Amino acid sequence: MKILYLHPKSWGGEYAMLLRLRDLGHEVCVFEEQRDLPQGARWFSDHFLNPGDGIATFWYDPRRGAEKLATWALDRLFRRAFEGRNLVHRMWVIRAALQHFGPDVAICSDGFTYAIPASFLKRLGLAHTRLIVGYIGGDILDCPRAAYGKRRTWLTDRLIKASLAAPEVLRPVSPLLERILLRDGAQKARIHVCPSHLVVPREALLDVCSRRKAISAGLRERHGIAAEAPLVVTLSLNQQGKGLHLLARAWRKVVDAHPQARWLLCGPHNPWTESEVWPVLDAAGVRATVSATGRLAGIAVFEYFAAADLHVNPSLCEGLNMATVEAAAVGTPTITSDGAGIADWVQRYGAGAVVAAGEIEALADAIIRALDDRATLARWAQGAQTMAEEFALERIAGQLQQLLGPARP
C-alpha cells in the first residue's frame, strides 16, 4: 500500500512509525514544509530525514510559490482563524502532492494544520484519497489557562467542525480527545482511539529496567540525593500547561511529610519556570530539595524515570502525555491530573493515581500517600509496565494498519 504522510514533523516520534510501516512492506512518502527552502518553493527528495531511508518527500516552502497570488484574497479572509497560515494555498499544494504521489491513503499527523485543508479538498470533490486524521491535543483543545491548544474563535471553531465530516478515519490519541470530537459533532463510527507510540526499542527499555538499582544509585550520587530519599521526577518542556507551578505550591506540604523527599525537575530551561516555579519554591524554603537537570535526550530520559520512585504529571490540559508512558515503560508509576489524556490508561491499569487538574491540595496528598506506602508503589509499578505495552510501536503500527483500508487493485 502507498501511504502519504502529511506533515509528520508535527510530532517528534512520527519518524519511527514511518520506518516501521516501510519495514512492513508499505511504500511510504511524505509531504512536509520547510521555510526558507534552499532549493526554491518546492523540492523533491528520495529520502525524508536520513539519506537512504527510502521515504520520498515533497518539500515546500509555505512562504513561496506563484500560486500564492491566485489564493491571496481567500487566504487573507481565513488567515486569522487558521493561525496566520494560508488555508487555500495549502489546499493547492496538498492537492499537488496527492497528484504527484497518487497514494492509496493519506495520513495527517495532526488535526489542524494539514487536516483542515485536506478535508476541505475532499469536501469540494478535489481529492478522493482515503484520509486518516490524527488528533494529538493542541490541534482541537482550547485551554487558555494552560496556554495550550487553539483559541476557538467563531471562525476557527467552524473550520475545525466543518473538517470532521470528510476523513474516513478520525484518530484521537486518547479518550479525552474522542470526547472532544464527539462534542464537536463527529460521527462516532469514524472515531478510532489509537494512541501515540514509544519510539525506543523494547530491548533498550528492558536493559534500563534490569539496571534500575545501579542507575538510581548513580543519578542520586550525581545530584547529591541520599540513597533512601523518596524521589519524585517530572519531565517536560516545562511550559505553563504542564502545571509545574502547581507542584511547586504543593511541594512544601510533601517535604513537611517526607523531609528527605527530593524532586528531579527534568527538561530544558524555560523562562516561565524562572518566574512561576523557582520563586514559589524559594518562598516556601524548599528550593534546595529540587534539582534541575536541563534537557535530556535518548536513553537518559528513561534512566531518570527509572531512578525515581514516582513520576508526577500535574498537567492542566493535554491530549495524552507520553512522559507518563515513558516512565511506565521502565516501571515508574505516575500521579497525573485528569486534564491529561493519559489519565484514562492510568486508571484502567492501576498505574498510579489521578487527581483533579489544578487541585494543589489533592496533588500534595496523593504524592504523600504514595510515598507513605511502598506496597502501593510496587503494585502501581506492575500496572505501569503492563500499561506501557499498549503503546509499543509494533502494537500501534498494527492498529494503524487496520485503519488503512484496502489498497487499490
* Domain match, 214 and 355 both: yes
CB 112 within 8 A of CB 81: no
In this model, does residue 65 exceed pLDDT 80? yes
- pLDDT tens, 368-394? 999 999 999 999 999 999 999 999 999
* Domain match, 92 and 229 both: no
Structural domains of the chain, count: 2
Task: Tell me the C-alpha distance between 106 and 133, whole Å.
Answer: 8
In this model, does residue 409 exceed pLDDT 80? no
Reported confidence tier of residue 331, pLDDT bands at 50, 70, 90: very high
Identify the residue with better confidence: 164 or 40: 164
* Domain match, 18 and 96 both: yes
What's the pLDDT score for residue 405? 87
What's the pLDDT score for residue 275? 95
* Domain match, 129 and 257 both: no
Reported confidence tier of residue 59, pLDDT bands at 50, 70, 90: very high
- pLDDT tens, 67-101? 888 898 888 989 999 999 999 999 999 999 999 99
Task: Tell me the C-alpha distance between 47 and 38, whole Å.
Answer: 16
Is the residue at 369 inside a domain?
Answer: yes
Which domain CATH number covers 330? 3.40.50.2000
In this model, does residue 199 exceed pLDDT 70? yes
Is the residue at 409 inside a domain?
Answer: no
- The Cα-based distances of 341 to 61, 80, 182, 319 in angstroms read 33, 28, 15, 5
What's the pLDDT score for residue 40? 87
What's the pLDDT score for residue 245? 97
In this model, does residue 408 exceed pLDDT 90? no
Is the residue at 321 inside a domain?
Answer: yes
Task: Tell me the C-alpha distance between 61 and 39, whole Å.
Answer: 9
* Domain match, 42 and 190 both: yes
- Looking at residues 274-282, what average pLDDT do you find? 97
Domain of 335?
Answer: 202-391
pTM reported for the whole predicted model? 0.95
Is the residue at 69 inside a domain?
Answer: yes
* Domain match, 347 and 331 both: yes
Is the residue at 132 inside a domain?
Answer: yes
* Domain match, 277 and 363 both: yes
CB 54 within 8 A of CB 2: no
- pLDDT tens, 15-50? 999 999 999 999 999 999 999 888 888 999 999 999
* Domain match, 157 and 242 both: no
* Domain match, 99 and 128 both: yes
Is the residue at 386 inside a domain?
Answer: yes
Is the residue at 110 inside a domain?
Answer: yes
* Domain match, 144 and 227 both: no
What's the pLDDT score for residue 370? 97
* Domain match, 14 and 145 both: yes
* Domain match, 223 and 354 both: yes
In this model, does residue 217 exceed pLDDT 80? yes
Burial class, 118, CB count within 10 angstroms (exposed 0-12 / middle 13-18 / buried 19+): buried
Q: Pairing state of beta strands 262-266 and 148-149? A: unpaired
- Looking at residues 64-68, what average pLDDT do you find? 84
